[in-house]
Each structure stands twice: as structure tokens, then as C-alpha cells.
Copies of this chain bind each other. A is one copy, B any other.
Amino acid sequence: MPSPPRPTRAGLLANPRSDRVRAVRALSRRAVRHRQGLFLVEGPQGVREAVHHRPDLVRDVYVTPAAAQRYDDLLARADAAHLPVHEVTDEVLAALGDEGASVSPQGLVAVCRTETATLESVLARAPRLLCVCAQVRDPGNAGTVLRAADAAGADAVVLTEGSVDVFSPKVVRSTAGSLFHLPVVTGVGAAEAVDAVRAAGLAVHAADGAGDRLLGALDLSAPHAWLMGNEAWGLPTELRARCDDVVRVPIHGLAESLNLAMAATVCLYASAGAQHPVGPA
């Protein structure tokens, strides 16, 4: 059966200096995102995950005619969800996006509402695996940790006060769509987060290269959270002291350490292995 005709779009947006284009472009700035409660999602992967998993957050989709053909399935889904899809020239598409991007949005950009979860709402759903990042600063690290948490089946990610803005274009790109897969809590203090998570009955394991327990010695089958420190200064002593234990990923070679994203990935996958055991094949 041929697919039903696409809803007629309004005329092609062709003016890269229009107020609408300027307003979208301005979302590359944190203050503007904060004020407007909106952020940019660039490229088919991110836009697809938004449209599929959180259409309620999508305010507008912008697409070039070439990308509209190429990502026909994605736009059909957007149409079915009654999302406003605007066709734009290549020039307008380029003007919408993040100037600092090293990758092309491939003709597709969405504007979404910034929505975060509260720690209370996350804890009320009896989570089994959480990842708390204390003041993560690097956008690539934050995004990769979100993606790893998603893949490991975590129930939510907490980025504490002082962390990079999770809605910055670089973080959004690094999450590869995972931002739309699991709740993200922001703006909570690290100590407050650790205390609340423990009060909800989860163990909190601080990950630190100087930890006195080895990752492999932990029983990770029960509900728990990982607390990851900042890229440069790790976890303050007083924060480590609030946790159930301080755990290190063993280093078997001569490497000094793992970076934050790698350490989080190893810890989260150790948890996934314990919480979703596999029998021998």
C-alpha cells in the first residue's frame, strides 16, 4: 500500500537572517537555552531518537529537501505525531546549527524543550542502577557517560551542580540520542544526591583511582549507584566519605588511569553484567 501523502508543508524557509533562524541559532548559548527552555538537536540520530522516544519534547523539526527524501521514515513518524516539520534551504539549515560543530547535521535539526527529572521522581520508581557525575565538565565525557549508562540499562543519570550543561550542542551530540532514553537529573548538589540515593536504599559506590576496594570484588547485583568524580580533581574526600565504599578499576598495565568516560563505562558494564547475568552459550 502506498504511504499516505505527506501533510503539505508551509513554504520553504529560505532566509538565513530571519528572526526564526536567529532565535534557533541562539540556542547554542547556555543563557538563551536556560531562558527559552529549549535546545538544539542536530543530525538524524539525535532527531530520530527524540521523535521516536520523546515526541512530547519536540517543538520543531527543520529539514532540507534532500534530507526530507533521505529520512522519509523519520519525517513520517514526525507527521504522525503532529510535529511541526519545516523545510529549509541548505543555507538556512547551516545557519540554524552550532557553529562549533565538527560534524554536519546532515540536513536535519530539531528544537526540543529542555526537560530534566527530579531526583525524587527517579528514586520513587525503585531504580536498580544509577550514575551520579559530580561536576563533570567535559561535554564529550558527559555525553559518553549518558550513552554508557543507557547501554548498561541504568535507570537515570544525575549531573550534579557545577556540571556541564547537558543541553549544550556538544553534550547532545555525544549522547547519540541517549538523552531521550533515560531521565537526567541536574542541578542537585553532589552530597545531597548521595545522601538521597542512600536514603532510598541504594548502595553508593564512589569510583576513584585511589579506592581501597577493587571493582571485581564487589557484589553489584543489588540496587546501587556509581558516583563518578570530576575529570581533573576526582572526588573530594568529604564526598567519598559519604559513600558506602570507594572502588577502583584495576590498572593491569602501565597506564596511569582511565579517563572518566572509560572508567564510567567499565563500572556501569560491571553492574550490567551482575544485574543481567548471561549463562554460558
Chain A interfacial positions (CB closer than 8 Å to B)? 45, 49, 53, 144, 147-154, 176-178, 181-182, 213-219, 249-259, 261-262, 265-266, 269-270, 272-273, 276-281
Contacts and interface: CB of A to CB of B under 8 A. Distances in A.
Given A45-B256, A253-B181, A259-B176, A217 B150 contact: no
Number of copies: 2
Contacts of A153: 252-253
Given A252-B153, A253-B154, A261-B262, A217 B269 contact: no
A147 B250 contact: no
A274 to B, nearest CB: 10
Contacts of A273: 216
B176 A53 contact: no
A144 B252 contact: no
Nearest to A258: B151
A29 to B, nearest CB: 20
A152 B252 contact: yes
A220 to B, nearest CB: 12
Contacts of A251: 151
Contacts of A154: 253
Contact of A272 (B177, B252, B272): B252
Given A218-B281, A269-B270, 4 more contacts: A151-B249, A151-B257, A216-B277, A252-B272
Nearest to A182: B253
Contacts of A270: 269
A113 to B, nearest CB: 19
Interface core residue of A150, A154, A265, A279 (most chain B CB under 10 Å): A265
A252 B151 contact: yes
A210 B217 CA distance: 31
Contact of A252 (B147, B213, B265, B276): B276
Contacts of A279: 217
A261 to B, nearest CB: 7
Nearest to A251: B151
Given A266-B266, A269-B269, A147 B255 contact: yes
23 contacts: A147-B255, A150-B253, A150-B255, A151-B249, A151-B251, A151-B253, A151-B255, A151-B262, A154-B253, A176-B255, A176-B257, A178-B253, A178-B254, A181-B253, A182-B254, A214-B281, A217-B280, A261-B261, A261-B262, A265-B265, A265-B266, A266-B269, A269-B270
